[in-house]
């Protein structure tokens, strides 16, 4: 099974997603600082994959002969990794789980804590794949035969480290013979759609067509899309969805044209502590990403730009949230509360 995250010879290796689709380069990380850097510069991205990579990053933290007590070192590294991407809730959940795990076994030395954290990382990685496969099965079951699915950004194995969320639904639907083709939005500024999703779909032999982000209205108005399936970076307790910028316009247009709009995400993406979309911190990234494309200037060098990474889709535009415990339907506050209890 393909995963862009692997543990090899005592270090974390990440498929550098900033180099795709031109080159397949694996980054070797031997310190949590290198992992934090890889997360920050999006060599690894996608909320679930960030969580998995961060878990391995914690395991790396204990390995060199450190003088601080393991708990102190863990706190430092949790802070370092937690600061990389503010919107991704899985990341914070992973760090919390590691802290609890270590707190439950006081008195372990560095090596023992390192082993504990590596086991945890591997477990998280496996869980991610299991969860993805359950999401994919529930999502694929929604599709009718011959559907054309529109997706945004990247939510396949590159995004989760496992089978993929929305990308997993697409793979499972293709495997079930239900999918006619996939519309892939390029997803500026970082082009996760054209660079990563197109690469994944080509690799998997799934028919797709790439469009600019501004083409979504045309696709829907022309009746070329049967269903929208996207991922999520954070889901609020009321079902509002924070996801890659461009998701909200797509949801508005899907509603206008009567096309179902689904969000596929593990329960770990749901944050019961975030009451609604208004409460999600939206990361603003470097304006230079807008002024350039893969490093090539496309605007006057001093042009001011705004670069929000995510937008918020209000729950009333969401037809269903596909999780590993089934498809949640409105009213979402209740469905979410029940799903989290299970």
Question: 3-state DSSP call for residue 14?
Answer: strand
- Alpha-carbon span 142 to 138, nearest angstrom: 7
Please give the distance of CA 143 from its chain centroid, rounded to a whole number: 22
Number of neighbours of residue 281 by Cβ within 10 angstroms:
11
Kindly give the interhelix angle for 32-40 and 47-61, rounded to the nearest 10 degrees. 160
Catalytic residue among 129, 132, 233, 240: 233
Ranges of beta strands (E only) in 60-200 are 147-151, 179-185
Applying CB under 8 A, the residues found at the interface with a copy of itself are 21-22, 185-189, 191, 194-195, 198-199, 202, 207-218, 221, 244-246, 248-249, 252-253, 256, 287, 290-291, 293-294, 296-300, 302-308, 311-312
Nearest to 92 by CA among 273, 243, 265, 238: 273
Q: Is 233 a catalytic residue?
A: yes
Q: Are strands 310-313 and 296-297 parallel, antiparallel or unpaired?
A: unpaired
Q: If phi over 0 gives left and psi between -120 and 50 gives alpha, with beta otherwise, what is residue 25? A: beta
- Which residues pair with residue 164 across a beta bridge? none
* Cβ neighbours of residue 232 closer than 8 Å, sequence gap 6 or more: 47, 165, 241, 242, 243, 263, 264, 265, 269, 321
Upper half-sphere CA count for residue 71 (Cβ side, 13 Å): 9
Helix (H, G, I), strand (E, B) or coil at 234: strand
**Residues 193, 21: contact at Cβ < 8 Å?**
no
Those residues whose C-beta lies under 8 Å from the C-beta of residue 317, and which sit 6 or more positions away, are 248, 251, 252, 254, 255, 261
The CB-of-181 to a copy of itself minimum distance in angstroms stands at 9
Q: How far apart are CA 182 and CA 209, in angstroms?
A: 6
- Residues serving a catalytic function are 233
């Amino acid at each position: 099974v393909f995963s862009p995250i692997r543990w090899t010879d005592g270090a974390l290796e990440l498929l550098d997603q900033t180099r795709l689709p031109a080159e397949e380069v694996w980054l070797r990380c031997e310190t949590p600082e290198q992992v934090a850097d890889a997360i920050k510069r999006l060599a690894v991205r996608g909320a679930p994959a960030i969580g998995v990579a961060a878990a391995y990053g914690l395991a790396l933290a204990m390995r060199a002969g450190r003088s601080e007590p393991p708990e102190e070192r863990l706190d430092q590294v949790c802070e370092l990794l937690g600061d990389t991407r503010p919107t991704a809730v899985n990341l914070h959940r992973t760090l919390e789980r590691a802290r609890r795990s270590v707190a439950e076994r006081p008195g372990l030395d560095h090596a023992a804590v390192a082993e504990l954290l590596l086991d945890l990382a591997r477990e998280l990685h496996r869980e991610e794949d299991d969860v993805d496969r359950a999401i994919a099965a529930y999502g694929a079951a929604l599709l009718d035969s011959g559907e054309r699915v529109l997706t945004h950004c990247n939510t396949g194995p590159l995004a989760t480290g496992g089978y993929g969320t929305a990308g997993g639904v697409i793979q499972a639907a293709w495997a079930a013979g239900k999918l006619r083709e996939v519309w892939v939005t390029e997803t500026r500024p970082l082009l996760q759609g054209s660079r990563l999703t197109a690469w994944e779909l080509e690799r998997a032999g799934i028919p797709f067509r790439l469009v600019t982000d501004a083409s979504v209205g045309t696709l829907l108005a022309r009746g070329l899309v049967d269903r929208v399936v996207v991922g999520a970076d954070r889901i609020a307790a009321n079902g509002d969805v924070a996801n890659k910028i461009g998701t909200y316009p797509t949801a508005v247009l899907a509603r206008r044209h009567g096309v179902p709009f689904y969000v596929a995400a593990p329960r770990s993406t749901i944050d019961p502590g975030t009451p609604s979309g208004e409460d999600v911190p939206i990361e603003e990234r470097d304006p230079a990403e807008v002024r350039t494309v893969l490093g090539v200037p496309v605007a006057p060098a001093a042009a001011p730009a705004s670069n929000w990474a995510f937008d918020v889709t209000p729950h009333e535009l969401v037809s269903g949230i596909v999780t590993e415990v089934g498809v949640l339907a409105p009213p979402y506050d209740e469905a979410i509360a029940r799903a989290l209890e299970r």
